[in-house]
A and B are shown apart, each in its own frame.
Chain A
Amino acid sequence: MSKKLKLIGLSSVASVMALSAAAQDPVSLTVVSWGGAYTASQQRAYHSPFMELNPHVTIINDDGSANALAGLRAQAQAGNVTWDLVDMLPSDAQLACDEGIILQIDHDEMLAAAPDGTPASQDFLPGSLGECFIPQIVYSTVLTFRPGAFPADAQPSSIADLFDVENFPGRRALQDRPGTNLEWALYADGVAPEDIYEVLATPEGVDRAFAKLDTIKDHIIFWTEGAQAPQLLADGEVAFATGYNGRMFEAIEVEGMDAEIIWDGQVVEWDGWVVPADGPNVELVMEYLYWATDTQRLADQAKFISYGPARASSAGLVGQHADLGIDMAPHMPTNPDNYFAPIVLDNDFWVDYGDELRERFANWMLQ
């Protein structure tokens, strides 16, 4: 199967022959990702099937994506690149790309076309591909709450309620980075989703966002790793938690946690692969990527976690959850019922203003 696809997609048959001939010695690939339910979905959709097709390959998961940029820089500076493939966010990928520590991707050459022949550059959703970045999924950061923390007739329903400690008391678990938090502070303060980055680009807008965050500061517990947010909710430690929608889906639907997602103001972003320059097995990684980012594989991942595939041609193939048998479509961030007030994360903004906002946010957390 994989060989047939390769023959269709790759321009040169000779390079395929060379790859399969050379690829018999046992190799292990170190794939860096986000851990928890997310890595598990990649394991089941990509890694395990790939290892079955290529018995000489062993894929090792490394849960280092939260510090991927630091890791890439450290390995490049030390001249000892041990990571083969890294899952990271597009803004960090753009920084790494500009620094030349990850490989540029020729999208139509290195990625499979859609089954109907549409080239990869047109099949991936608009704006998702980067110079060095191959998106897998669109995910969102959503607000989730514990219904038991509030009276039945006064349940929270919007981002504004997160900032309303009077009517919705209880602790809040927020991520320990400025992205999403600053956007939500302005959104709750009355800024329309499409104007948020314009306001945040001004010093007054930043002050306004921090002033809004000040109002709930005493009620915040900060989380770092994606798995912590649902844990804090499940333990009853917090009334609200922000988190990635796929993790929340896993906790609520698969593990039966009593919590509800508020889709208002969901912050939508891509996530995808980059290939470290000078990695130990670049050719094999490219073979893996060609296969693991094709239409069927991206649709497969949605069977295991509620993140939307990044290819237009995968959308029709998204079906039911592999274990639960429930329809996945209503749980996707891009489902029209959920996509009524999205904030699309502006990566250019965060590349440009990220450093100073991150510093200010870190100082704000410590004070």
Chain B
Amino acid sequence: MAEFQAPYQDAFTDAHRLWGEPELWRIIQREGRPLTASYYVAALDREYNAAGEIVLRDENRRIYVSLFGRTLALSLAITGMTFLLGFPIAYYLSILPMRYANLLMIAVLLPFWTSLLVRTSAWIVLLQQQGVINNTLVALGVITDDGRFSLIYNQTGTIIAMTHILLPFMVLPLYSVMRTIPPSYTRAAKSLGATPWTAFRRVYFPQTLPGIGAGGVLVFIISIGYYITPALVGGQSGRMISNEIARHIQQSLNWGLAAALGSMLLAGVLVLYWLYNRLVGADSLKLG
């Protein structure tokens, strides 16, 4: 305290220029309470104005709401992709004789047992501009050397790599449900005059819904909190909310904001699960 001599106003502004700002003192007054909502306010791209009201931040500082939106959109896209790819695989597995099905099942499970980092790095090798896919397309004359696709370090990279990594989570529940559907149901529908498409749509498909629900919820919930793959192949446009949480934990050291973002993500997942339960019923989930 010996260094702080009157006049104190000058002593404070000498110590740091920000002590001269009335805003700083207002913040101390507002945040001095044991519990404050300010991190949640910041996580919703809002802030307190001079009068203490919650207002939207400047446009160039609004990032989290749109990032939550992007995370949701990417997760939905990935869930959709795994469904489109996983459904035919699971169906084919379920109608094959057991010994072939087991062999194919190993092909599905092999990547599942490989390290996540190895699989993600493999995608980097495949997708980069001088990578296997672009080089092959150039060699075949499909694209010119200047027209190489940007398949990585953007959203495309995140979607491709995560779809591959999460595919087993869709295939396994679907397969376990499809195995229990007796083929006689579809045959009966056909013998009663249904076209193959009608038999599939009205008889077979509804019975796979518990598997689709389980796979969808599983893939969606895992991808909404996914971290390492977007960090490695997502660039800036493929980043998700979990990358931002990690940044606040590790780099900016804003643990309060990271905790606020994290608990909002958790709450969001719980709401979605509740919604799913209301619409489909969690009892019908079949994980195998």
Contacts and interface: CB of A to CB of B under 8 A. Distances in A.
Contacts of A360: 61
Contact of A221 (B131, B153, B244, B247): B153
Interface in A341-356: 352, 355
A195 interface: no
A351 B173 CA distance: 53
B38 interface: no
A158 to B, nearest CB: 25
Interface string B118-157: 0000000000111100000000000000000000010000
A359 interface: yes
A235 B128 contact: yes
B67 interface: yes
B252 A362 contact: yes
A208 interface: no
Contacts of B249: 70
Contact of A70 (B63, B153, B244, B253): B253
Contacts of A69: 253
B128 A237 contact: yes
A264 B177 CA distance: 64
Contact of B61 (A220, A358, A363): A363
Interface string A231-243: 0000111000000
A366 B128 contact: no
B41 to A, nearest CB: 15
B61 A366 contact: no
Given A362-B247, A362-B252, A367-B60, A237 B235 contact: no
Contact of B67 (A67, A222, A237, A366): A366
A73 B130 CA distance: 41
A359 B239 CA distance: 17
Contacts of A66: 250
B61 A237 contact: no
Mostly helix, strand, loop or mixed at chain A's interface? helix
Contact of B252 (A235, A236, A359, A367): A359
Q: How large is the interface on A (under 10, 10 to 19, 20 to 34, 35 or more residues)?
A: 20 to 34
B130 A366 contact: no
Contacts of B253: 69-70, 73
A91 to B, nearest CB: 13
A367 B63 contact: yes
Nearest to A71: B250
A237 B129 contact: yes
Nearest to B64: A366
A365 interface: yes
Q: How large is the interface on B (under 10, 10 to 19, 20 to 34, 35 or more residues)?
A: 20 to 34
Given A221-B235, A236-B130, A237-B129, A363 B60 contact: yes
Contacts of B13: none
A366 B251 contact: no
B252 A222 contact: no
B9 interface: no
Contacts of A220: 236
Interface string B30-71: 000000000000000000000000000000110100010000
A34 to B, nearest CB: 15
B129 A236 contact: yes
Contacts of B252: 355, 358-359, 362
Contacts of B129: 236-237
B85 to A, nearest CB: 27
Contacts of B130: 235-237
Interface string A259-286: 0000000000000000000000000000
B235 A70 contact: no
Nearest to B257: A359
Which among B16, B128, B131, B236 has the greatest number of chain A C-beta atoms within 10 A?
B236
Given A221-B153, A236-B130, A237-B129, A70 B251 contact: yes
A209 to B, nearest CB: 14
A363 B235 CA distance: 14
A98 B29 CA distance: 24
A364 B67 CA distance: 13
What 9 A-B pairs are tightest by C-beta distance, nearest first? A236-B130, A67-B250, A366-B63, A221-B153, A70-B250, A70-B253, A237-B128, A363-B63, A363-B61
18 contacts: A67-B250, A69-B253, A70-B249, A70-B250, A177-B251, A220-B236, A221-B235, A222-B235, A235-B130, A237-B129, A237-B130, A352-B16, A359-B252, A362-B252, A364-B60, A366-B63, A366-B67, A367-B63
Given A235-B128, A366-B63, A366-B67, 9 more contacts: A67-B251, A70-B249, A70-B253, A222-B235, A237-B130, A359-B252, A363-B61, A364-B60, A366-B239
